[in-house]
Amino acid sequence: MTETTPTRTTVGIGGAAESTDMVLNIGPQHPSTHGVLRLRLVLDGEVIREAEPVIGYMHRGAEKLFEARDYRQIVMLANRHDWLSAFSNELGVVMAVERMLGMEVPERAVWTRTLLAELNRVLNHLMFLGSYPLELGGITPMFHAFREREELQSVMEEISGGRMHYMFNRVGGLKEDLPAGWLSRARHAVAEVRSRMDVYDRLVLGNEIFRGRTRGIGALSREAVHAYGVSGPIARASGVDFDLRRDEPYLAYGELLGTLKVVTREEGDCLARFECLLEQTHNALDLADACLDRIPELPPGPINQRLPKVLKAPEGHTYAWTENPLGVNGYYLVSKGEKTPYRLKLRSASFNNIQALAELLPGTQVSDMVAILGSLFFVVGDIDK
């Protein structure tokens, strides 16, 4: 669908002439894993002059629904706004409630949560490692990505029963202990995925067409990252060296600093963002292996805390944030001492990251729009929340 803006007069060699900018709507149809997004572009020929992300087409109302569910039920709502990062979404909510309660989580739950968070990170990144080349015309990496995802999905499904919405976190720990032999099966899955990760180095990064479509395209400055609150691999690709796992450690990350690698680039373009995502996937597999080495060494014990039948958080407020696969995810919890939150504000990564399109797209060619859009690695449910 197109529309036109008022004409304007330009002066060229042949004299004055009238020209008309075109307003082009991209979307809101978007039948893919990322969700339903609309872009409103003002074009001058093939050049984008203005860009406005139009959001809200799949508004989930999660923040309002949080106020009508008790502290056990909100975990189900939390894992759905970014459906590619469900375990990490649950994690932030239960950490906020545990902080309000002053609750210590068993050590086995801390390390298992760390392991599952990194496996979830790999699952998230594999989707974008496959879908981004697909958006630029290369279908083969998507087949590889789904094969590797299936290796990890099988072990995640075994412990939780879910393929996308795991519902495995609980206030005070995890739903239940790991099945017998699961750690060895998880180690095998991690090894299988790692053995085939060079596909993305050779098939994607080694492809001169892919590099030509992404190098120097959609460069995001460090100043813009700070101005828009951009986080995650997109921010680190612009030289912002920030990762909550290292800078404000939670779970077991404080003991994994020797393995944790915060990947950064200085270019801030589409290629740098893809490289950060790929290297972060390699490191997440290393962190998962480190957790798999540590968990068998832990002394026997529970994996969760016993809770009262009616769970109420004391009056007060707290903020819990985590380094989700797509960036910083935060929950600001306000309690009036009831069994439901008085207020639970969600700070989602994709909501801030997508606003940078207003800065990235103006001045670029229409042909580069998809490359820039895809390189922001967003999930629209995480935007509309």
Closest among 121, 141, 124, 120 to 132, alpha carbons compared: 141
Q: Are 240 and 266 in contact (CB under 8 A)?
A: no
Q: Higher confidence at residue 187 or residue 15?
A: 187
Q: Higher confidence at residue 307 or residue 18?
A: 307
Helical H runs in the chain?
62-66, 74-78, 86-101, 107-135, 140-160, 182-195, 198-199, 208-214, 222-228, 233-236, 244-247, 270-294, 349-355, 357-360, 369-374, 380-384
Phi, psi of 329 (to 5 degrees): -120, 125
Q: Are 128 and 199 in contact (CB under 8 A)?
A: no
CA distances from 209 to 151, 198, 237, 267 (A): 29, 18, 21, 19
pLDDT, tens digit, for every residue of 231-246? 999 999 999 999 999 9
| Range in 27-31, 35-39, 102-106, 162-166 with the lowest mean pLDDT | 27-31
Rounded CA-CA distance 368/270 in Å is 10
Closest among 127, 356, 48, 41 to 219, alpha carbons compared: 356
Neighbours of 310 (CB within 10 A): 10
The torsion angle over the Cα atoms of residues 245, 108, 183 and 196, rounded to 10 degrees, is: 0
Rounded CA-CA distance 2/331 in Å is 39
Q: Is the dihedral of CA 12, 14, 17, 20 positive or negative?
A: negative
**What's the mean pLDDT in 117-143?**
93
Mean pLDDT, rounded, of the chain: 90
pLDDT, tens digit, for every residue of 321-342? 999 999 999 999 999 999 999 9
pLDDT, tens digit, for every residue of 250-280? 999 999 999 999 999 999 999 999 999 999 9
Predicted local confidence at residue 19, as pLDDT: 61
Neighbours of 69 (CB within 10 A): 17
Percentage of residues of the chain with pLDDT beyond 70: 94
Grade residue 8 by pLDDT with cuts at 50, 70 and 90. Answer: low
Predicted local confidence at residue 80, as pLDDT: 86
Q: Are 234 and 353 in contact (CB under 8 A)?
A: yes
Q: Which residues, listed in sequence order, are joined to residue 365 by a DSSP beta bridge? A: 47
Grade residue 29 by pLDDT with cuts at 50, 70 and 90. Answer: low
The torsion angle over the Cα atoms of residues 351, 353, 354 and 359, rounded to 10 degrees, is: 140
**What's the mean pLDDT in 185-213?**
93
Rounded CA-CA distance 257/159 in Å is 27
Domains and CATH numbers, the chain: 62-384 (1.10.645.10)
Q: What is the length of the chain?
A: 385
Rounded CA-CA distance 245/267 in Å is 23
| Range in 13-17, 101-105, 167-171, 270-274 with the lowest mean pLDDT | 13-17
- Report the relative pairing of strands 15-26 and 173-174 from DSSP bridges: unpaired
Which string of b and e fits 110-133 if b means at least 16 CB within 10 Å? bbbbbbbbbbbbbbbbbbbbbbbb
My answer on whether omega of the bond before 28 falls inside 30° of 0, hence cis, is: yes
**What's the mean pLDDT in 24-50?**
81
Question: Collapsing DSSP states into helix, strand and coil, what is residue 204?
Answer: helix
Predicted local confidence at residue 22, as pLDDT: 87
Predicted local confidence at residue 275, as pLDDT: 95
Percentage of residues of the chain with pLDDT beyond 90: 73
pLDDT, tens digit, for every residue of 351-367? 999 999 998 999 999 98
Predicted local confidence at residue 79, as pLDDT: 87
Predicted local confidence at residue 36, as pLDDT: 81
- Non-local (6+) Cβ contacts of 88 within 8 A are 82, 117, 120, 121, 322, 324, 325, 329
Rounded CA-CA distance 74/97 in Å is 11
**What's the mean pLDDT in 27-56?**
82
Rounded CA-CA distance 237/219 in Å is 10
Grade residue 10 by pLDDT with cuts at 50, 70 and 90. Answer: very low
